[in-house]
Amino acid sequence: GNSVTQMEGPVTLSEEAFLTINCTYTATGYPSLFWYVQYPGEGLQLLLKATKADDKGSNKGFEATYRKETTSFHLEKGSVQVSDSAVYFCAHQSTGTASKLTFGTGTRLQVTL
Amino acid sequence: EAGVAQSPRYKIIEKRQSVAFWCNPISGHATLYWYQQILGQGPKLLIQFQNNGVVDDSQLPKDRFSAERLKGVDSTLKIQPAKLEDSAVYLCASSLGVRNEQFFGPGTRLTVL
């Protein structure tokens, strides 16, 4: 069945460090891929998305490229800030009329000064 | 533009009691979703509405959970009777249509004692 696997956290980095959070998926067809972020005390927010192979989603300095050959959608940022501390969820959306999002378990990022 | 509203934000009940959650989606959004997020896991779709009709309720435990969306706007999710394993955050989301971006509410944190 459809699933999303992302690296376990917590991930602790110093400010200005490089961030990678790995995400792989299994799905039928050609799903859309997403990264959501959940800041402390807030709801889920869409961070970026990609809808087809080789697309690159980007937002707020974060990037992720849809790699169909490796079924991956790794999240990267060149220089993290303390304000990036949050939980990051990788997700895919099934094709067809239903638009169910399947989420990974989330990766907590803690950025320190 | 107002976001997705949910109430209550927190609820503590004893097992075997009943509880109801309310969601008001973004105005004009035809599609409404309820997700369950257990601590340490990603959100899991419980039910999806398109206007006031159910599109997907395959993961809704129908022996104890029920949901309705009267008039295709607000929605309520009910649990009766609650079990300890129902302790989770219940997220409501809405989108313009089935393939559009989903916007999430802040969630209701349920604790079953």
pLDDT (tens digit, 9 = 90+) per residue, B51-108?
Answer: 989 999 999 999 999 999 988 899 999 999 999 999 999 999 999 988 888 999 999 9
Whether A91 and B48 lie within 8 Å, measured CB to CB: no
Partners of A105 on chain B (C-beta within 8 Å) are 40-42
Whether A21 and chain B come into contact, CB under 8 Å, resolves to no
Whether B95 and A99 lie within 8 Å, measured CB to CB: yes
pLDDT at A98 over 70: no
CB B102 within 8 A of CB B37: no
For chain A, the average pLDDT equals 92
pLDDT of residue B1: 64
Which residue of chain B is at minimal alpha-carbon distance from A99?
B98
Which residue of chain A is at minimal alpha-carbon distance from B108?
A43
Whether A100 and B56 lie within 8 Å, measured CB to CB: yes
What residues contact residue A41 under an 8 Å CB cut-off, 6+ apart? none
Grouping H, G, I as helix, E, B as strand and the rest as coil, residue B16 is coil
pLDDT of residue A8: 86
CB A91 within 8 A of CB B93: no
| Rounded Cα distance, B113 and B111, in Å | 6
Task: Report in angstroms the alpha-carbon separations of B51 from A113, B40, B93.
Answer: 47, 31, 13
Q: What DSSP line would sit under A86-104, residue for residue? A: EEEEEEEE-SSS---EEE-
Please name the member of A45, A46, A103 whose beta carbon is closest to the beta carbon of B43: A103
Whether A111 and chain B come into contact, CB under 8 Å, resolves to no
Whether B56 and chain A come into contact, CB under 8 Å, resolves to yes
pLDDT of residue A27: 85
The residue of A23, A32, A101 whose CB has the most chain B CBs within 10 angstroms, and thus the best one to mutate to test that interface, is A101
Whether B43 and A45 lie within 8 Å, measured CB to CB: no
pLDDT band at A72 (very low <50, low <70, confident <90, very high): very high
pLDDT at A61 over 80: yes
pLDDT band at A97 (very low <50, low <70, confident <90, very high): low
Pick from B57, B30, B54: nearest CA to B44: B57
